[in-house]
């Protein structure tokens, strides 16, 4: 899916700016930035269950284990 988004963003950027060597570099940079951000969002969604488990564990420790001392 990310590859399709990369190609669509790259083609759209080339069509908007016109096709010259400078705009090819600009489109490649913009597409790289978009793919970097999409990759970071994908990683966050991938580790989201673990983050929820860690948050519940910290809450349980603070409210039940540590408060009993």
pLDDT of residue 40: 92
Residue spans per domain, the chain: 2-65
Each residue's pLDDT, cut to its tens digit, for the chain (69 residues) gives: 667 777 777 777 777 877 787 877 787 788 788 888 888 998 999 999 999 999 999 999 999 887 655
pLDDT of residue 69: 58
pLDDT of residue 35: 83
- Model pTM score: 0.53
Q: Which of 8-38 are b and which e, b meaning 16 or more Cβ less than 10 Å from the residue's Cβ?
A: ebbeebbeeeeeeeeeeeebeebbeebbeee
What are 3's two structure tokens? 């590859």
């Amino acid at each position: 899916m990310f590859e399709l988004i990369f190609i669509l963003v790259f083609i759209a950027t080339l069509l908007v700016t016109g096709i010259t060597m400078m705009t090819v570099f600009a489109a490649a940079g913009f597409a790289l930035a978009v793919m970097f951000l999409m990759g970071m969002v994908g990683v966050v969604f991938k580790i989201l269950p673990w983050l929820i488990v860690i948050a519940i564990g910290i809450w349980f420790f603070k409210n039940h284990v540590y408060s009993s001392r």
